[in-house]
Amino acid sequence: MGIVRKQTTYSFVFTYIGFAIGAINTLWLFPHFFSREEFGLTRLMLDFAVFFSALSTLGSLNGLYKFNPFYRSYLGIAKNDLPFLSLMASLLGSILFIVGSLIFEGFLARKFGHNSPLFILHYRLVIPFTISYTCIMMLEGFCWIIKKTIVSNVVKELFFRITTSVLISLYIFKIISIDTFFRLYALSYVPAIIILAYVIFTSGGIGICTRISYATKRLYRKILTFVSFHFSGMLIGILPKTIDGILIAGLSSNGLANLAIYIIPNYLVTVMEVPQRSMLGITTTLIAEAWKNKDRKKIEELYHKTSLNLLIIGLGLFGIIYPNMDNVVRFLGPDYGLAKEIFLIAGIAKLVDLGMGMNAQILSLSKYWRYDFYTSAVFIVVNIVLDFFLIKKYGLMGAAYGGAIALIFYNLMRCFYLWRLLKMQPFTSKTIATIAFAIIAILAAFALPVLKHLLVDGVMRSCIFAIIFMPAIIYFNISEDITAYYKLILNKISSKR
């Protein structure tokens, strides 16, 4: 777990710096200097870009993660044509996306024109946004396979938010118009693309070999079958983050204005999953290598430790955020009153997801990868159907319930198949202890009477939770990794005295 611990730590720190900048954008600048419709449009553009970019890769990233260890072992870097084939698949997918987006422009105008007319005015900006995000996904995949996850996380998470902050500032100070803001916002990933491309192709870890190798000639049927089955699996990490916003904008009255409200709790839930995103790149590579080497013990170790560590950090963040949701509403105004309830529902679902560890990666990279396709397909159908009917009937709360039910159901399916097929499960007695400590600490934070000063109230509640939860985790040595971090920090402090 040494490499996982090291790369996750660096990714974690830099990603949260990016999220701190994003918090300024999301919780202050956008709500206070943009209309709710304009704020909602920024999210809808991003949702469409993220969703369609996953389609544009044609599932090639899963093939890259699965088969690259074999290619590198037998071909080396210079003759490895898998990165080139992945690029060509994404290029083809991007062309198909551009054609499809133009063909279905009229259809989307009818579906979104009544509830979200501002989106229709800026619809074509989704095209450059999607193409640039597709490039980011490909470059991030290359970083993962050469184990430069720190670089990809820092650049992807940090530079987009910095670029957004700059664009917001230009608009606030009336240097650019709102239309120019949206045009430039659609290109906000371009700086990150340039930096990632430079880092990857100057590192020497990847070569672009255009000559079809003997490995591809021998394995192409297996690769195509794998990628075809995993096409929906690629969407599994994308769909829960995008479908809610798209359906809210299309189905609810005042779609973009409602979406602006939904952005707040959704962003805070995203903060909870940063450790998972930081850990995902390096653990995916290590799991692929472990399956190649038939190292079941290594996989089980990764499964248990990622599950426990993600749950501890997720509960820690949930325990700080949820007792402060009333303060968030006080800061943003009564229009955002539903944010607290939505965060509770979505946050619990995310905790279930975090507590399941790397179940999706273990299943998808094993010989039982077809079950990844089946569960992904079921999840997609359940998620869309639930969201469609619940949003039409209950609006924003329907979106929260639909997404939460689908995400929990999906994780239970994956957990069931991992136990049935591989006799692996992520939980231990320490899982129960972690949840118990978190509940006690959260109740203690809520017991504090409401203080008049918003900032003081928030700091006090956060401190009460942290003072109870973190010492309990360390004292009972719930996580060896977290205890090791704590001792490392103490040693560094003592050495400086």
pLDDT in tens, 308-338: 999 999 999 999 999 999 999 999 999 999 9
Name the strand (E) or helix (H) holding 359: helix 359-364
Q: Is residue 62 part of a domain?
A: yes
Q: Is residue 497 part of a domain?
A: no
Q: Is residue 355 part of a domain?
A: yes
Q: Please list, residue by residue across 430-460, b when 16 or more beta carbons sit within 10 angstroms of its beta carbon and e when fewer do.
A: bbeebeebbeebbebbeeeeeeeeeeebbeb
At residue 399, the pLDDT reads 93
Going by the DSSP 8-state scheme, the letter that residue 213 receives in this structure is P
As a whole number of angstroms, the distance between CA 54 and CA 157 comes to 18
pLDDT tens, residue by residue, 477-493: 999 888 988 888 888 77
Residue type, 477: N
Q: Is residue 459 part of a domain?
A: no
As a whole number of angstroms, the distance between CA 246 and CA 242 comes to 6
At residue 1, the pLDDT reads 47
Between 360 and 337, residue with greater pLDDT: 337
Q: Which of 295, 261, 196, 300 is nearest to 397 (CA)?
A: 261
At residue 152, the pLDDT reads 78
At residue 134, the pLDDT reads 94
State the total domains in the chain: 1
- Give Cβ neighbours of residue 117 (< 8 Å, ≥ 6 apart): none
Q: Is residue 446 part of a domain?
A: no
Domain that holds residue 108: 2-427
Q: Is residue 442 part of a domain?
A: no
Q: What is the DSSP string of 396-454?
A: HHHHHHHHHHHHHHHHHHHHHHHHHHH------HHHHHHHHHHHHHHHHHHTSPPPSSH
Locate 253 and state its tokens: 């009255």
Name the strand (E) or helix (H) holding 77: none
For residue 82, the tally of other CB atoms under 10 A from its CB is 25
Asked whether 319 and 469 are in contact (CB, 8 A), the reply is: yes
pLDDT band at 374, cuts 50/70/90? Answer: confident
pLDDT band at 13, cuts 50/70/90? Answer: confident
Q: Is residue 485 part of a domain?
A: no
Asked whether 182 and 122 are in contact (CB, 8 A), the reply is: yes
Q: Is residue 489 part of a domain?
A: no
- Give Cβ neighbours of residue 493 (< 8 Å, ≥ 6 apart): none
Predicted TM-score (pTM) of this structure? 0.82
